[in-house]
Structure 1
């Protein structure tokens, strides 16, 4: 399955799910997780939120959608 990852305001990636290394899958499950997909595009789950159909999904959940949106989290600082 191919997955389209739209990093809002930046780039769009087309990823072949079968080629994604599965570092964070649950035992007995060979499907990549959303965290695995983020790693493929050099993003950390701590920096972003992953949305499927406009709703956030846990990064440790296996990928079940062929299109997802990634929003970078904005961190404020002292002025």
Structure 2
């Protein structure tokens, strides 16, 4: 399945996934689960859940300044 990962306010990435988790997607975009919230259809999802959506939004909770 082809998945689009949108890091809100930053950039968008596309990945081919088979049995990856949302944490795997975060690792691929070099973000830590401790600094973001993963959203599917406006609802947060656990990072250890297998990817089952074609569009994922990642909201950064912590930003450097």
Q: CA RMSD in A?
A: 1.1
Q: How many residues align?
A: 63
1:62 is displaced (CA, Å) by: 0.3
Aligned to 1:74: 62
1:59 is displaced (CA, Å) by: 0.3
Structure 2 unmatched runs, 5+:
none
Of 61, 74, 77, the match for 2:49: 61
Q: How does 1:1-79 map to 2 (within 5 A)?
A: 1-18=1-18, 31-74=19-62
TM-score by length of 1: 0.75
Structure 1 SS opposite 2:23? helix
**Runs of 4+ residues over 2 Å off in structure 1:** none
Pick the structure with greater CA Rg. Answer: 1
By percentage of residues, which structure has more strand?
Answer: 2
Structure 1 unmatched runs, 5+:
19-30
- For residues 14 and 33 of structure 1, what CA distance do their matches in structure 2 show? 15
